[in-house]
């Protein structure tokens, strides 16, 4: 027995080592502070790119570097203060409705290396930024889901020609009152066909027959799941549309959403990005200008109407309480111009349910008026006397236009009455989607960039110290074999970083803890192997036989131990959130790479040193 290394094993180890070093190398160079300038709903235009560069050049920054990367321009700065100042300059210089200026960290590695690999992402605790924990108002979500049935109930009653009824949503349930009990029973059958997600009850008194209904348990569970998924998707789309780089948006529990915005240091601005909403509601117009003026001057608003004001001149207008379609039924939206008037317009595409509803209502109301309500929650930025930013929350609800329904509408139509910037903003937020239910901030944390830098420094120091101590101990206790184990351990850390970079995973403080833990665990495999080799030598085996037996016989034990730990790491990743996932990722990767380096890699090195030799002593 010679323990010679086959050529394919040597080539495989060399390929893995070289690839690992190249993939991990960008992390040595670190990251630069950058402003990422790109288009919002369309690619960045040359004019906007020129305006952005001119604004940055006017700021007097030292050593600014521009990278033109296809549909975006990246400006590199020496520090974060310059980065934040430059972002404000770009935001003021270009039209924010069409151009995004996002703060980001970009690789500082050479251009040739950037084409091969990127550094791993840094989490909020290492890079700095803002953490929000939102709670979804599920009670409001269920209420909204039930209210959608009210207009359908009224429509069905009118289609059946029934008189003397009252339908409302009050006290957490939908209720219908009928003068004739037979009408109540007939409508109950029709309502059950239309509302299979409802639990119905009937009752009567001396005068009326009643139907009451609530969403059943299965429907409530499904609605809550849908609400959470849509709110997460909406927040993700909104953050992406508005140019915040590398966000973390994920579910926590059954009613909460975690939002992390690395690199953002202004919590009010971040809150404005996530909380800003704009949507449309299409309603039928109620009455005439005479009744509008009377209601506005105190004459009373009819029970089935609501009083609004026109955006153009602030004059009053009455609209039906029944909504035809809302923003959450809009599938797509784009900003453009009306072909006849050249006025800014928003072109809207409805989903199947919205199109069906719009078609049914407009078919019944050709010749009548329909209005468009523009609802917006935004945060306006102003500057006080000291030159500091002041953020003011503004809520508006205005009728942007109303017109006669000349034809039946369905999936696609246009809405006018907004300025160019407003139309682009509205299209952007409609594309991102409207929140299915309100969200409230229950926790807000800001991690400063200096604290993030301290975390990186301390985490790196702990990993390096742990690695050095383990390597020195192994070299002292197992001599040459210990130094081989130390080399394998260092390579294991390199491979962990390489895999994180390749997967573009996010490294967090718990992730660093996972790497440090893996450093200690990875050497266990070599300890088992080396102790087995010692036992074989003490029992009289030859050098080559002891080496072979040490690796072969210890493999099963090593595999069992690592597989059980890997199972625990997978469970942590599957069921955990946030920091726990970061720890589980690095632990899982470390277990897999340590199996390769501690068993496969160290054996090739040991065979290269001792393979084929007939000596009776080993430096172990």
Res 299 pLDDT > 80 = no
Q: How far apart are CA 333 and CA 430, in angstroms?
A: 6
Res 469 pLDDT > 60 = yes
Shared domain check, 453 and 439: no
> Among 407, 424, 445, where does a domain finish?
445
> Domain containing 538: what range?
7-26+448-610
Mean pLDDT of 513-522: 83
Res 272 pLDDT > 80 = no
Shared domain check, 432 and 311: yes
Report the percentage of the chain scoring pLDDT > 70: 84
How many CA atoms within 13 Å lie on the side-chain side of 137? 12
> Among 198, 219, 240, where does a domain finish?
219
- In this structure, of 51-60, 96-105, 497-506, the range with the lowest mean pLDDT score is 96-105
How is residue 387 written in tokens? Answer: 């030159």
List the alpha helices (DSSP H) in 115-264: 124-127, 138-160, 181-194, 217-241
Please report the pLDDT score of residue 16 as a whole number. 92
Please report the pLDDT score of residue 193 as a whole number. 81
- In this structure, of 117-131, 268-282, 531-545, 606-620, the range with the lowest mean pLDDT score is 268-282
Mean pLDDT of 295-322: 84
Q: How far apart are CA 503 and CA 576, in angstroms?
A: 20
The candidate with the shortest Cα–Cα distance to 344, out of 409, 424, 413, 401, is 424
More confident residue, 529 or 389: 529
Mean pLDDT of 18-27: 91
Report the percentage of the chain scoring pLDDT > 90: 5
Inside any domain, residue 103: yes
CA 22: distance to chain centroid? 30
Mean pLDDT of 413-427: 65
How is residue 42 written in tokens? Answer: 């369309």
Q: What secondary structure letter does DSSP report for 310?
A: B
Residue 75, beta-bridge partner list: 35, 66
Using an 8 Å Cβ cutoff, are 326 and 279 in contact? yes
Please report the pLDDT score of residue 388 as a whole number. 63
- In this structure, of 199-208, 252-261, 450-459, 487-496, the range with the lowest mean pLDDT score is 450-459
Q: How far apart are CA 75 and CA 68, in angstroms?
A: 9
Mean pLDDT of 38-61: 81
| pTM greater than the 0.75 cutoff | no
How is residue 29 written in tokens? Answer: 């160079």
Res 503 pLDDT > 90 = no
Inside any domain, residue 123: no
The candidate with the shortest Cα–Cα distance to 373, out of 281, 262, 482, is 281
Inside any domain, residue 60: yes
Mean pLDDT of 213-226: 85
Please report the pLDDT score of residue 42 as a whole number. 62
Shared domain check, 452 and 440: no
CATH number, domain with residue 37: 3.30.70.3400
559: left (phi over 0), alpha (psi -120 to 50) or beta: alpha
Res 262 pLDDT > 80 = no
Shared domain check, 454 and 424: no
pLDDT one-digit tens code per residue, 533-576: 888 888 888 888 888 888 888 888 888 888 998 898 888 888 77
- In this structure, of 11-20, 253-262, 336-345, the range with the lowest mean pLDDT score is 336-345
DSSP reduced 3-state for 394 = strand
More confident residue, 502 or 435: 502
Ramachandran angles phi, psi of 617, nearest 5°:
-125, 145
The neighbour count for residue 205, using CB atoms within 10 Å, is 8
Please report the pLDDT score of residue 242 as a whole number. 47
Residue 97 confidence class, pLDDT cut points 50, 70, 90: low
Mean pLDDT of 271-294: 77
Shared domain check, 298 and 213: no
Res 495 pLDDT > 90 = yes
The candidate with the shortest Cα–Cα distance to 284, out of 323, 311, 312, is 323
- Looking at the structure of the chain, the number of domains it has is 4
Using an 8 Å Cβ cutoff, are 400 and 344 in contact? no
> Among 416, 445, 474, where does a domain finish?
445
pLDDT one-digit tens code per residue, 600-613: 888 899 888 887 66
């Amino acid at each position: 027995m010679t323990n010679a290394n086959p050529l394919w094993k040597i080539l495989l180890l060399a390929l893995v080592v070289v690839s690992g070093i190249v993939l991990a190398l960008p992390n040595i160079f670190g990251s630069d502070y950058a402003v990422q300038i790109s288009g919002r709903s369309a690619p960045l235009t040359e004019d906007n790119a020129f305006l952005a560069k001119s604004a940055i050049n006017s700021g007097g920054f030292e050593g600014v570097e521009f990278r033109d990367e296809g549909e975006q321009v990246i400006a590199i700065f020496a520090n974060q203060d310059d980065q934040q100042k430059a972002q404000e300059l770009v935001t003021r210089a270009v039209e924010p409705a069409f151009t995004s200026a996002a703060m980001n960290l970009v690789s500082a590695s050479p251009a040739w290396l950037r084409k091969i690999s990127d550094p791993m992402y840094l989490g909020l605790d290492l890079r700095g930024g803002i953490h929000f924990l939102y709670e979804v108002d599920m009670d409001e979500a269920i209420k909204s889901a039930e209210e959608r049935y009210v207009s359908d109930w009224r429509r069905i009653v009118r289609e059946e020609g029934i008189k003397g009824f009252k339908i409302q949503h009050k006290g957490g349930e939908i209720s219908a009152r009928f003068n004739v009990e037979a009408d109540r029973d007939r409508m109950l059958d029709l309502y059950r066909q239309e509302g299979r997600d409802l639990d119905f009850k009937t009752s009567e008194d001396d005068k009326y027959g009643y139907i009451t209904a609530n969403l059943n348990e299965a429907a409530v569970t499904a609605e809550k799941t849908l609400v959470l998924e849509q709110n997460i998707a909406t927040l993700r789309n909104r953050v992406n549309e508005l140019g915040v780089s590398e966000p973390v948006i994920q579910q926590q529990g059954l009613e909460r959403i975690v939002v992390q915005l690395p690199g953002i240091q202004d919590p009010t601005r971040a809150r404005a990005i996530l909380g800003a909403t704009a949507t449309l509601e299409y309603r039928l117009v109620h009455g005439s200008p005479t009744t509008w003026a009377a209601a506005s001057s105190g004459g009373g608003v009819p029970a089935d109407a609501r009083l609004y004001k026109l955006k153009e001149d602030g004059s009053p207008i009455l609209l039906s309480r029944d909504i035809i379609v809302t923003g959450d039924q809009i599938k797509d939206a784009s900003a453009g111009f009306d072909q006849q008037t050249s006025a800014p317009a928003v072109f809207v595409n409805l989903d199947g349910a919205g199109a069906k509803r719009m078609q049914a209502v407009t078919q019944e109301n050709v010749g009548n008026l329909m209005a468009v309500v523009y609802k917006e929650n935004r945060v306006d930025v102003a500057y006080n006397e000291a030159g500091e930013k002041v953020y003011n929350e503004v809520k508006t609800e205005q009728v942007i236009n109303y017109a006669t329904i000349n034809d039946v509408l369905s999936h696609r139509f246009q809405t006018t009455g907004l300025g160019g910037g407003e139309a682009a903003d509205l299209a952007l937020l409609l594309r991102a989607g409207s929140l299915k239910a309100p969200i409230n901030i229950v926790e807000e944390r800001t991690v400063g960039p200096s604290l993030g830098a301290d975390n990186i420094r301390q985490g790196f120091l702990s990993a390096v110290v742990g690695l050095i101590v383990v390597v020195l101990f192994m070299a002292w206790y197992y001599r040459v074999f210990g130094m081989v184990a130390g080399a394998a351990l260092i390579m294991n850390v390199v491979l962990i970083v390489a895999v994180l970079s390749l997967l573009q995973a996010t490294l967090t403080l718990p992730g660093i803890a996972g790497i440090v833990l893996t450093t200690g665990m990875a050497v266990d495999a070599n300890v088992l192997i080396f102790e087995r080799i010692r036992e074989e030598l003490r029992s009289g085996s030859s050098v080559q036989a002891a080496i072979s037996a040490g690796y072969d016989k210890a493999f099963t034990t090593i595999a069992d131990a690592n597989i059980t730990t890997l199972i625990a790491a997978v469970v942590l990743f599957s069921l955990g959130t946030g920091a726990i996932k970061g720890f589980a990722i690095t632990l899982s990767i470390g277990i897999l790479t340590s199996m390769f380096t501690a068993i496969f890699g160290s054996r090739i090195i040991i065979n290269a040193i001792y393979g084929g030799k007939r000596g009776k002593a080993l430096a172990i």
